[in-house]
Structure 1
Amino acid sequence: MNLLKLTSGMLGLVLGFVCMVGMAQATPVVYGGTLGTTPVVIELDVQLDGRVESRYFVASERVTHHINGQRSKQGQLTLNIDVDALESDDEADVKPASSPVITLRPADNNGWQGEWRQGQGTPLAVELSQMVPIATAGLSPFMQSLYQLSPYDYLLRATAEPVMVKQGVVNGYNVEWWQEPNAKLSMFQLTSGYPAERLAALNAALRDSFWRTVLAVAQCEHSDDKVKISLLSANVISYVVSGDRSCGGAHDYMDVSPHILRVSDASELTLSDLMWVDESPVPDASAIPDDYLQETLPTWLAAQFARLYPEQTKVTDDESEDVCDYSSSEVWANAPWSLTSKGIYFQTMTPNLTSQCKGSGWEILPWDVVKQHPGRLKDLPLP
């Protein structure tokens, strides 16, 4: 493997961090140091049971390599690196390479030291020190959000500052769309229509959602995720992140992830917050029984949509091997939902979740029906 040197800016950043951590940790910890003479950034996730799932990069590559291994009873880490992830296809075809192994032992000031070995090659010394928190006041809001979410990913993407790509007006609210240079996904930020404090909290939640999606998509071979705003109102905001993904499974699939935010505190809402079709009181979201989610609610939805849209619910795609049967509770149990000005939209998906049901778009439960079955937040004004 060719280990490339970090840029001088990253080198200064890495070497400016100091030591702080012990052998075992409950959450991932980021270290800066050297592999031979090459500066590296590594995140060690040492589980309490001794398992280690970690990753590292050198800045000139800006590519994450995953490592895993075990911590011994004496505190030594043995990490194995996936050699296939380090080589191009051409390099891998020339000759099989032995997998690199990193061994680390606790060092002074809660750091780590050890060596990298690969086959019969000369071992390289490894020296690591934990990175102290950086001052985020000078960072842009997007980069502050990324650092709070994942210091490792902030360092990895420090040179990929999101930029504004367009502006627009949605439901009378001014919005800006921001995109990271290395990602296809754009996320909106609100610039008017809400009190300043609420605007700040909502935008922070949107940035957090953006980065979580970007980091999840980075694990996939292919994705084309897009964000669509379905509702901006005085009390609730609704948007959907969706796209086709190929993440190493047997089949590609369509991922649809709706997000509904309460304007007053920027918290994520669940369907049971807004609508409940069983006996009262509404239980906590974590205590809702599976039979409600898999039987009671979807069966009720199937009946409502059959009454409201009799022609649409009779239609089936006879040419498809993955037919959407709107009379089946399964279709409605798996339907992601979002808010619109007309009601709650239930996005029906084919049973294998590879695509939307043919001709979908009509599956809106009107607000007057929703309001007859109030959820946990009975006092929340709905459109």
Structure 2
Amino acid sequence: MLKGLLRGAPIATSLVMLAVMLCSSAHAGEGRRIFTGTLGKMPIVLEVQTAAPTNISGRYFYQKYRKDIALSGVMQGATLVLNEGEQPYGDEKPLPQIHLNIETGKAWGEWSNDQGKTLKIELTEAELPAISAGTLPYLAKLYDAEPYEYLRLQGMKLKQGKTQTFQGYSLQWWSEPQTKTAFFEIVSGYTSEVRDRINKLLLGRLWQEVVEYYGCFSAGGGAYYLQTVKPLLIKPKVISISVGTEAYCGGAHPDYSDAYINIDAQNGKPVTLEDVLWVGQGKPLHYEERNSEQSAEVSSAYSEYRNNEFAPWLVAQLRQLYPEEMQPIPDDNCTYGEQDHWDYPTWYFAENGIKFGPSFSHADAPCAFVDWSVLPYSVIKQNPGGVAVQLP
């Protein structure tokens, strides 16, 4: 029956309604255990890292709310004694505690607070439903690498929003109501195969933003996460999309960031800057800044290239194209002529070239918002990258 319900449904509506074929234990690293069950009468998902008995960490969420509650503690005999949350500075009020006993395949214990309230905990080792062949690549990766996060997304559905026409292409917006994160899929143009690949990428990014939203709220009180998505360029050859984030996830200051999704619209695959532009020696590197699985050797080579070859070249190009803007201004912290602001710039495809954005410290963050730093496609085409991207 479930397969029948999913057949022909829009890709966004069935993202996490995954067809159940088999069940398997939640994948986890050494010492990492994931359980599902109840705290009192409330369903929860709980994760603990037990590799170091004197420094146990963990977290759990109520399935109704999905927000993390941090755990930390020690092993006392056969029992985990875990404090819930973090003690505010100067506050000596006892934290709620969880006493948990773990055996093969199950765990049980008790939650209590300083007011004498106790709640029973009953858990079993988490099992994940096997995923269907049509699952988004991002969710499939989450299934293998972060089963706790995958379980958090179970049962969440997207809400269909407005339709929009942008540069001749029809866009359908979707949002996740609890986190208010939103993204669109492209519903006209391109071949069906390429469009499907593009939309899997875009809607996978929506779910990634949902995961990052909850990761931010694990910081506790005062946290917030606001996301703004804008299509910048949708053309037959390339696509660029802005993902802006304003968030406070703990620490001294809020964070403001602009990230960009850049896609080769000929095949629907994401591209890095080195795929498009290469000014170094030898074969162009392919380094994905959001991919933590790349080797230390590749990461080192990437940093060396950006610092020693790319940044000096880019600064020289910008000085030639925009001599006035690149000149230092007395008593102004926006020193655009300095190389270290261009080692790792943001970038996206614009109508007339690649638009670069300089990087600045948090204190000088407003300096990063400039509208002039475009490198014309004529320059880009003289220095092609590792992928034959057809530029506008």
Common fold: TM-score over 0.5 = yes
Partner of 1:312: 325
* Cα distance in 2 between the residues matched to 1:66 and 1:147: 21
- Identical counterparts, % of pairs: 25
- Mapped to 1, the partners of 2:330 and 2:174 lie a distance apart of 38
Q: In the alignment, is residue 172 of structure 1 matched against residue 168 of structure 2?
A: yes
Contact 2:37 2:123 in 1 (8 A): yes
Task: Give TM-score, length-normalised by structure 2.
Answer: 0.75
Do the aligned partners of residues 154 and 296 (structure 1) sit closer, same or farther apart at CA in structure 2, a change above 3 Å counting?
closer
**Which stretch shifts more, 243-252 or 363-372?**
243-252
Residue 11 (structure 1) aligns with: none
> For 1:80, which of 78, 83, 86 is the aligned residue?
83
Aligned length: 351
CA contact 2:26–2:147 (8 Å) conserved in 1: no
Residue by residue, what CA displacement relative to the aligned partner does 1:323-351 show, whole Å, maximum 9, x if unpaired? Answer: 11121001212421112222111112433
1:111-190 → structure 2 map (5 Å cutoff)? 111-118=106-113, 121=116, 124-134=119-129, 148=143, 152-153=148-149, 156=152, 161-190=157-186
Distance 1:299-1:65 versus aligned 2 partners, 3 A rule: same
**Equivalent residues of 1:257, 1:336 under 8 A apart:** yes
Q: Which residue of 1 aligns with 2:372?
A: 362
Which amino acid is 1:54 matched to? G
Looking at structure 2, the residues matched to 361 and 315 of structure 1 have their Cα atoms a distance apart, in angstroms, of 17
The alpha-carbon distance between structure 1 residues 367 and 255, as it changes in their structure 2 partners (threshold 3 A), is same
Residue number in structure 2 paired with 1:206: 202
TM-aligned CA deviation for residue 128 of structure 1: 0.9
Q: Separation in 1 of the partners of 2:58 and 2:349? A: 39
Task: Map 1:1-383; keep pairs closer than 5 Å.
Answer: 21=25, 25-26=29-30, 30-35=34-39, 37-46=40-49, 52-69=56-73, 77-82=80-85, 96-107=93-104, 110-118=105-113, 121=116, 124-134=119-129, 148=143, 152-153=148-149, 156=152, 161-218=157-214, 219=216, 221-263=223-265, 266-285=268-287, 286=298, 288-314=301-327, 316=329, 318=331, 323-352=333-362, 355-357=365-367, 360-377=370-387, 379-383=388-392
- Further displaced range: 48-57 or 362-371: 48-57
Shift of 1:176: 1.4
Larger mean Cα displacement after TM superposition, 350-359 or 233-242: 350-359
How many angstroms apart in 2 are the aligned matches of 1:196 and 1:153? 31
With over 3 angstroms needed to count, the CA separation of the structure-2 counterparts of 1:55 and 1:61, relative to structure 1, is same
Counterpart of 1:41, as a letter, is I
SS in 2 for 1:133: strand
Alignment CA distance shift 1:280-1:245 (3 Å): same
Cα offset for 1:168? 1.4
- Distance verdict in 2 for CA 1:76–1:231, change over 3 Å: farther
Taking only aligned residues, the RMSD between alpha carbons, in angstroms, comes to 3.9
Residues 18-42 of structure 1: per-residue CA shift (max 9 Å, x gap):
996599745966432122x423222
Q: Which residue of 1 aligns with 2:220?
A: none
The alpha carbon displacement at 1:62 in A equals 4.6
Contact 1:276 1:374 in 2 (8 A): yes
TM-aligned CA deviation for residue 140 of structure 1: 10
Question: What is the one-letter code of the residue matched to 2:197?
Answer: A
**What letter corresponds to residue 105 of structure 1 in structure 2?**
I
Q: CA 1:27 to 1:176, structure 2 compared with 1: closer, same or farther past 3 Å?
A: farther
The answer to whether the 8 Å contact 1:254/1:353 transfers is no
Q: Distance in 2 between matches of 1:141 and 1:23?
A: 18
Higher RCO structure (Cα 8 Å, ≥6 apart):
2
| Contact 1:19 1:111 survives alignment (8 Å) | no
Q: Which has the higher strand share?
A: 2
The whole-number CA distance in structure 1 between the counterparts of 2:120 and 2:24 is 21
Q: Structure 1 195/124 Cα, relative in aligned 2: closer, same or farther at 3 Å?
A: same
- Residues 223-278 of structure 1 show CA distances to partners (whole Å, capped at 9, x for unaligned) of 33211222223343221212332221212232122222334554432211111112
CA contact (8 A) 1:143 1:154 kept: no
Classify 1:315/1:274 alpha carbon distance in 2 versus 1 (closer, same or farther; 3 Å): same
Q: Which whole-Å CA distance do the structure 2 matches of 1:182 and 1:241 have between them?
A: 19
